[in-house]
């Protein structure tokens, strides 16, 4: 590509480039977390655009810079409109723009909802590998049967091949049945059960992923969880503050996650401090923090979802596109330097 050209990767391009590369996506996420823990990132707070009178609808901007041997800057612009499902559309849609860290010029634009889902799932899988009890458990439970948990299951099955049972719950029973049927087709030998109620999933095994569209806490009792349970609290607003305060809490960045009325933010407001947060996944990956104090502890991973993860996975897709020829190059998207100089002197 020449300077001034723009690489465009559609959803089909991103899917084709990343399918079967769960290990590489997870490594990109690990590298980003380590860089963040070492202070080699810039991650401004996300900006939320709300639609007046529609509290469930929002658009978020996540700008970020990721340093290293292949530095990258950029932004994810992602919307969440739950009502889209009634129109036959996906709840989330997004675009990721990658900029040159040297000139600031945009170099690539990617369909971002798949990037976002897979970096979220990779983050969950990395957390599970480092937070789960050492005691073997063949069960995996999910609360919320949407795109995010679909990707979480895919990444967890790749990371933890010993999973034999999948227990699923969604407020919409039909959605849970579709989710279960899909995994029965895709993973022969996996026993998939639809469970009535989140409590049934929480009681089913020691690894549970929660990814819903909840705006406020709806789970205030974890007493049914087996000893040593790890909860991947992906959607951030499902657990009550009192529940959070009774767990060992790991996040990706305390400053980011204690905002926007997340469960951890509500817990902070209740007690006036953040001492209930044990540390970050980046600290664990660097060996500066143990993932769990003991095998019986109830550990909750609540990741805000840092923009550096989107950049890391988008950069991987762009690099793969360069080696495969995938995508479309929009030539001359930017004005050349000579034109800019002429205009500046006019």
d(CA 230, CA 152): 14
Torsion over CA: 160, 315, 288, 225 (sign): negative
Residue with tokens 């049914």: 224
Q: Are 62 and 32 in contact (CB under 8 A)?
A: no
User: pLDDT tens across 193-238, in order?
Assistant: 999 999 999 999 999 999 999 999 999 999 999 999 999 999 999 9
d(CA 136, CA 259): 35
The pLDDT assigned to 223 comes to: 94
Which of the given ranges, 2-6, 212-216, 238-242, 292-296, has the highest pLDDT on average?
238-242
Cβ-in-10-Å burial (0-12, 13-18, 19+) of 193 comes to middle
Q: What is the mean pLDDT of residues 2-16?
A: 94
Backbone angles phi, psi at 252, to 5 degrees: -100, -30
Cβ-in-10-Å burial (0-12, 13-18, 19+) of 104 comes to exposed
Give all domains of the chain, ordered by start, each with its CATH number. 6-115+307-345 (3.30.1780.10), 130-302 (3.40.50.720)
Reading the block at residue 201, the tokens are 């999933």
pTM for the full predicted model: 0.92
Residue 341 has pLDDT above 70, yes or no: no
User: pLDDT tens across 102-147, in order?
Assistant: 999 999 999 999 999 999 999 999 999 999 988 878 999 999 999 9
Direct distance between the N- and C-terminal alpha carbons of the chain, in angstroms, rounded to an integer: 30
Reading the block at residue 329, the tokens are 């190059």
Query: What is the 8-class DSSP label of residue 187?
Result: S
CA-to-CA separations, 293 to 216, 249, 346, in angstroms, rounded: 29, 11, 66
d(CA 129, CA 175): 28
């Amino acid at each position: 590509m020449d300077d001034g050209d723009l690489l465009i990767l559609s959803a089909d391009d991103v899917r084709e480039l990343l399918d079967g590369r769960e290990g590489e996506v997870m490594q990109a996420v690990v590298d980003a977390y380590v860089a963040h823990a070492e202070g080699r990132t810039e991650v401004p707070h996300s900006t939320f655009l709300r639609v007046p009178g529609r509290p469930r609808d929002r658009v978020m901007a996540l700008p970020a810079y990721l340093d290293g041997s292949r530095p990258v800057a950029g932004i994810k612009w992602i919307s969440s409109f739950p009502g889209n499902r009634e129109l036959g559309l996906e709840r989330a849609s997004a675009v990721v723009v990658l900029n040159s860290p040297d000139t600031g010029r945009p170099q690539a634009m990617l369909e971002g909802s798949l990037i976002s889902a897979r970096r979220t799932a990779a983050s969950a899988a990395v957390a599970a590998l480092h937070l789960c009890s050492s005691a073997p458990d063949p069960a995996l439970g999910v609360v919320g049967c949407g795109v995010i948990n679909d990707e979480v299951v895919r990444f967890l099955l790749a990371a933890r091949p010993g999973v034999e049972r999948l227990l699923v719950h969604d407020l919409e029973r039909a959605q849970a049945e579709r989710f279960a049927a899909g995994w029965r087709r895709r993973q022969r030998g996996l026993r998939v059960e639809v469970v009535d109620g989140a409590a049934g999933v929480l009681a089913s095994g020691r690894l549970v992923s929660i990814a819903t569209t909840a705006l406020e806490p709806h789970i205030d009792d974890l007493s049914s969880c087996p000893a040593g349970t790890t909860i991947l609290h992906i959607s951030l607003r499902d657990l009550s503050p009192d529940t959070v305060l009774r767990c060992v809490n790991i996040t990706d960045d305390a400053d980011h996650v204690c905002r926007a009325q997340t469960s951890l933010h509500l817990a902070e407001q209740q007690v006036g401090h953040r001492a209930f947060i044990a540390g970050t996944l980046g600290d664990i990956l660097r060996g500066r923090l143990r993932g769990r104090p003991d095998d019986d502890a109830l550990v909750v991973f609540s990741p805000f979802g840092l923009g550096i993860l989107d950049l890391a996975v988008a950069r991987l897709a762009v690099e793969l596109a360069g080696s495969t020829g995938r995508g479309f190059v929009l030539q001359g998207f930017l004005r050349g330097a000579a034109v800019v100089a002429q205009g500046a002197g006019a």
